[in-house]
Amino acid sequence: MAAWLADAVTWVHLGWVGFLVLGAIPGWRWPWIRWLHLAGLAFAAWIVLGGRLCPLTLLEHSLRNPGGPARPPETFLGRLAEQLVYAPLPRSWVLVGYLAVVGVSLVVYACAWRRRGAA
């Protein structure tokens, strides 16, 4: 049961990362998503820039092996999600990617704000 829950948490984590990367797309049209996306990016900054672990990572690891080191996922889908969420990238690449996502998101939101102001 815990393995299934750990896999589910990993998939939620992957969805969250996807929202952080692509959230400016729906945020262009719906301002309430824009604010949720910006709050998520701020929380990600706290994690990435501070060298912290995401709470979803901690939850997944505690579900994989309570009281010890995390075990690898046992299911194909769990392994797939884990490889996507925890790709072995250098910290500098993660930081550059994060800054690129923030920069593009801010440009998209500035354009949306100007567009709404002109209408």
Tens of pLDDT, residues 14-52:
999 999 999 999 999 898 999 999 999 999 999 988 888
Enumerate long-range contacts of 17-21, CB under 8 Å, 24 or more apart: 17/85, 20/44, 20/101, 21/101
Question: What pTM did the predictor assign?
Answer: 0.81
Residue 75 pLDDT exceeds 60: yes
| High-pLDDT (> 90) share of the chain, % | 43
Structurally, the chain folds into a number of domains equal to 1
Domain that holds residue 12: 2-118
